[in-house]
Structure 1
Amino acid sequence: MGYNSSDFILHELKSGQERAFDYIFRKHYKGLCAQAMLYLKDLDTAQGLVQNCFIKFWEKRSEVTEIQNIPAYLSFMVRNQCIDYLRKEKVIAKAHNEHESGKTHAENSTENVVMLHEFEEELVIALSNLPERCRMAFEYSRFEDLTYPEIAKKMNISVKAVEALLSRALKSLRSELKEYFPLLLLLLGVIR
Structure 2
Amino acid sequence: MPQQDKFNNITEKEKAPHELTPLSKVEDTTDSAQVLALDDEYFIRRAFERAPTEGCELLFKHYHRGLCNHAVRFVYSKQIAEDLVSDVFCRFWKNKSYETVKSSYRHYLYRSVRNEAMSYLRAEFKDMESIENAANTEGVASYEPDYITQFEEISKRLKELVEALPPQCRKAFLMSRFEGKKYQVIATELSLSVKTVEAHISLALQRIKKGLQGYV
TM tier, shorter chain?
0.3 to 0.5
TM-score by length of 1: 0.43
| Structure showing the higher helix proportion among its residues | 1
Q: Which has the higher contact order (CA 8 A, sep 6+)?
A: 1
